[in-house]
Amino acid sequence: MKIRDLILKRITTLVLPFIQVYGFYVIFHGQISPGGSFAGGIIVALGFIAYATAFGTEEGRAVLPEKVTISAESYGTLWYALLGMVGIVKGVPFLANKLAGIDLGVPGTISSGGLIALLGIGVGIRVASTMVTLFFTMLEEEV
Amino acid sequence: MTMVDYGNIAMLFILIAASLTVYFIRNLLHAVIVYGVFSFIMAVIWLQMNSPDLAITEAAAGIATTVLMMLVIFRTSRREE
């Protein structure tokens, strides 16, 4: 699939950084404002999907090779599990936050979530790589 | 009943109409476009019901699933004449 449209490519190049920054903003502020890692991850993935749609599948694959998406998916899940283990190491239930003795800070600030902010980064990366993998799987599969 | 309530009722009727249209329409591409309308109206309704969290998720996931369904249509049976 290859689209030769100068306007489409130029607009995609201009809008792409704003899409990505907005996606990461939604991920990082998931614990104090609307949004979250799921929605943010999908927005980040939509940026890559827009690039791959405008510039062709081969060029999109060059930006995000299969190796990168597979390891992002696996390590995102592993990151979530490792952070959940913090509670077990401390002798409290899995995924415990305040019980594990983590400083929750001032409510309303970005560091007030404890482990939630770090969990959100893992979930966001995993959701983004899953969406990109779905897209490329449907695009590259021979009918 | 304020103006906002009437707007909500109108949007709910549009929602029902859109979902019935998606079910009964023959052309798959048109069905996906109407599904985009459904997703947008649903996001506005979530916002009206004071849950911007779900509104953002609905908007993002609606766009993503629409793109994926378009791809599936183009890769399977539908052919442009």
Structural domains of chain B, count: 1
Residue A109 in tokens: 């600030």
Q: What is the mean pLDDT of residues B37-47?
A: 92
Look at residue A113 and tell me if it is in a domain. Answer: yes
A-chain CB neighbours of B76 within 8 Å are 143
First to last CA, chain B: 51
Output the CA–CA distances (angstroms, integers) from residue A101 to A42, A105, A122, B75, in the order listed.
32, 12, 21, 52
Look at residue A1 and tell me if it is in a domain. Answer: no
Question: Any CB–CB contact under 8 A between A135 and chain B?
Answer: yes
Lowest-pLDDT choice from A68-72, B64-68, B71-75 = B71-75
pLDDT tens-digit readout, A89-138 = 888 888 888 888 788 888 888 888 888 888 999 999 999 999 999 888 88
Q: What is the mean pLDDT of residues B2-15?
A: 91
Mutate to test the interface with A, among B39, B51, B53, B73 (most CBs of A within 10 A): B53
B-chain CB neighbours of A38 within 8 Å are 57, 61
Range of the domain at A60: 6-140
CA distance to partner chain B, nearest, from residue A88 (Å): 30
Range of the domain at B33: 3-75
Closest CA to A25 of A143, A127, A138, A117: A117
Lowest-pLDDT choice from A9-18, A95-104, B58-67 = A95-104
Q: Residue A1 above 60 pLDDT?
A: no
Look at residue B80 and tell me if it is in a domain. Answer: no
Q: Residue A10 above 80 pLDDT?
A: yes
pLDDT tens-digit readout, A16-72 = 999 999 999 999 998 888 888 999 999 999 999 989 888 888 888 888 898 999 999
A-chain CB neighbours of B60 within 8 Å are 39, 42-43, 46
B interface with A, Cβ–Cβ below 8 Å:
52-53, 55-57, 60-61, 63-64, 67-68, 71-72, 75-76
Q: ipTM of the assembly?
A: 0.78
Structural domains of chain A, count: 1
> What secondary structure, in 3-state letters, does A16-74 show?
HHHHHHHHHHHHHCCCCCCCCHHHHHHHHHHHHHHHHHHHCHHHHHHHCCHHHHHHHHH
- Return the pLDDT at A22: 93
For residue B51, the chain A residue with the least C-alpha distance is A34
Output the CA–CA distances (angstroms, integers) from residue A51 to A3, A17, A38, A67, in the order listed.
11, 11, 20, 19
CA pair distance B49, B43, nearest whole angstrom: 10
